[in-house]
Amino acid sequence: MDYKFIILLIGFAIVAIAGNQIAKVFQKLKFPLITGLIITGIIAGSSLLKFIPAKTLPELSFLNDLALAIIAFSAGSELYLKELRSRINSIKWMTIGQLTITFIVSSIVIFYASDYIPFMKELSSNVKMIIAVLFGVIFVARSPSSAIAVINELRANGPFTKTSMGVTVVKDVLVIVLFAICFAVAKAVINEGGELGFTFLLFLLIELVLSFALGIVLGKILQVPLSLKFSEPIKGLFIIGLGFGAYVFATFVREHTEVFFNHEIILEPLLICIIASFYITNYTKNRIEFINLLEKISPTIYIIFFTLTGASLSLQTLVEVFWIALALFVLRLITMVLGGIFGVVAAKDDKRYTFISWMPYVTQAGVALGLTTIIAAEFPEWGYEFQTIIIAIIVINQLIGPPLFKYAINLVGESHLKHKTPEYDGVRDAVIFGLESQAIALAGSLKSHGWTPKIVAVTNEKVDNPNDIPVVCIRDISLKSIESLHLANAEAIVCLMSDKENFDISELVYEHVGTKDIIVRYNGSRHFLEKFKELGVRIMDPSSAMINLLDHFVRSPNATSILLGLDTTQDSIDVEIRNKDIHGMTLRDLRFPTDVIVLSVVRKEQVIISHGYTRLRLGDIVTLVGTFESLENIRFKLES
């Protein structure tokens, strides 16, 4: 291998690593991650520092192919049909409205306004029409990753959110199909000067059918490494290699078919990859593992892709086209508003959505940039000016899009942010869901330590109070039942039912009540394990708890005895600092009794290594070990 190429790769890797760190700074300033990566690429590129000279970009083009394959895999993996069925009518009409109106209106307006766009001014009418159509295609593209980020941040759920997510992923699949058609037409008209006759249309149909078929074949091939017991890094390399292989194969077919057919068969690797991903997601058992692997691969791939994209830009051109980009951004918004109104009216959706239904679809990222990169490489005479304008629009969309989506979700009331932890009322309440022997034993233990426990049974029948522990019966697990329990002041909630019931309770408490601690007994359903983690509940897994307990008994028997209450002279407690007089004081100034030890201080979910000079703050959780009497005295001092 050429040593100059190796040096080039090492140099680019250094720039990409630096870009990742710089992008994190931009994130702190509330800028999107890709903005920082693109700016780093511009600085390192031929416009400024020239760490990545323009003449070296063709040698790095294979990195674009790698990234585009992963982008297509990611887009296809989001299109999970089972999750879209409940809103299929709304998704259908909103997709039609957003795709057709945005594409057609944008293309027409840009064609007639082409004389005001510098790089289009001197071109022929045919080329202007092609460029206008390509603008229209890019305007349709959306960003599933950005939508998911907003939905996860707000824990959004409801008809508006489901429709938005469905339309987003469907559009990204359809836009790649639309792009394949328009791009083929563009190459025929511009590069070959050909006419769009029957032969061209026949070959275009053959190419699309072949791309779809090869996508299914690639999906079946992807199943093989996913089904084998390889480590995650090996499976990740297989995914990257097979995605890149789609580009290599498409190039091979293009170069060799003209000899046999007197016509190049041009396969669309993006379409092949997205169909393969769609197949894995919907028709195999490997969906979850495939998505998890993509989530681990994608960050590194995106760093490479966006940095390289920035390096290919001209800063001077970017400044020159900013106002044009701003005007086209406004045009795109107008077409999206019209498409949104059409979608709501046609689907007969809630009228509240009429004038906000376009807001979820503003943000753009990977797919739009990927398609733009392909255009720039194929049509270098005007492609890089086209790419620069699109990237400027994408940056604006990244800044404006997420706040608009958040506003729309909050406006329709589908945000489910965690409620604030209730104020301490002086009584340590614990609510235990599930009437069984462990629940009764736990309630008795908590009662002996000064807590006020209550057991909740999900039944229509009355039950006796075991060991004088209050038992409350509810008919089902619903918001109405949860509200009837008046859990607002509960210090802790323990769920000892099935994983499904435990999750339903935890989610309702998380979203509508708020409490300091939700503890669930995990019963082994992997489907709910990740969901519990997303809610941030404390998970107790009986299958591993015994092993961990025995391990601690072996390594630290004295500490374990104290924590389990086997040492009747010692106990351990967590105390929250609520006494305003304690705020700002150091541990050494508190003069704790000599029979009390401070094990840890937790502040905003971060453990602080404590020492005598550690200053306490309101809300800190202090873990203490000592005698019962001393601990109660300290608790009173810190909490009152």
pLDDT tens for 385-414 read 888 888 888 888 877 888 888 888 888 877
Kindly report the number of other CB atoms within 10 A of residue 628's CB atom. Answer: 14
Q: Domain 429-540's class?
A: alpha beta
**In CATH terms, is domain 3-411 a member of 3.30.1490.20?**
no
Give the chain's radius of gyration (CA, Å).
Answer: 30
Give, in words, the CATH class of 556-639.
Answer: alpha beta
Cβ burial, residue 115 (10 Å; 0-12/13-18/19+):
exposed
Q: Which part of the chain is CATH 3.40.50.720? A: 429-540
What confidence tier does 419 reach under pLDDT thresholds 50, 70, 90? Answer: low
Instruction: Tell me the C-alpha distance between 401 and 394, whole Å.
Output: 10
The CA-CA-CA angle for residues 82, 84, 89, to 5°, reads 130
Sign of the alpha-carbon torsion through 438, 439, 445, 448? negative
For residues 230-254, b (16+ Cβ closer than 10 Å) or e, as one string?
Answer: eeeeebbebbbebbbbbbeebeebe
Record the tokens describing residue 424, joined without a space.
């301490």
pLDDT of residue 405: 86
User: Is the model's pLDDT at 2 over the cut of 70?
Assistant: no
Strand partners, 540: 521
Distance of alpha carbon 496 from alpha carbon 514, whole angstroms: 19
Q: For residue 108, name the pLDDT band (cuts at 50, 70, 90).
A: very high
Confidence at residue 153, expressed as pLDDT on a 0 to 100 scale: 66
In this prediction, residue 221 carries a pLDDT of 92
Q: How many CA atoms lie within 13 A of 296 on its CB side?
A: 13
Please answer whether residues 486 and 461 qualify as being in contact, where contact means their C-beta atoms are separated by less than 8 angstroms.
Answer: no
- Mean pLDDT of all residues in 185-195: 73
Tally of CA atoms within 13 A in the half-sphere of 273 that contains its CB: 31
Q: Where in the chain is the domain with CATH 3.30.70.1450?
A: 556-639
The answer to whether residue 334 scores a pLDDT higher than 90 is: yes
pLDDT in tens, 481-521: 888 888 877 888 999 888 888 888 888 887 777 666 788 98
**The length of the chain, given as a count of residues:** 640
- d(C-alpha 415, C-alpha 360), whole Å: 14
Does residue 1 sit in helix, strand or coil?
Answer: coil
Task: Quote the tokens at residue 278.
Answer: 């769609």
Question: Can you spell out the DSSP letters for 510-579?
Answer: HHHT--SEEEEE--S-HHHHHHHHHHT-EEE-HHHHHHHHHHHHHH-HHHHHHHTT-STT-EEEEEE---
Q: Where in the chain is the domain with CATH 1.20.1530.20?
A: 3-411
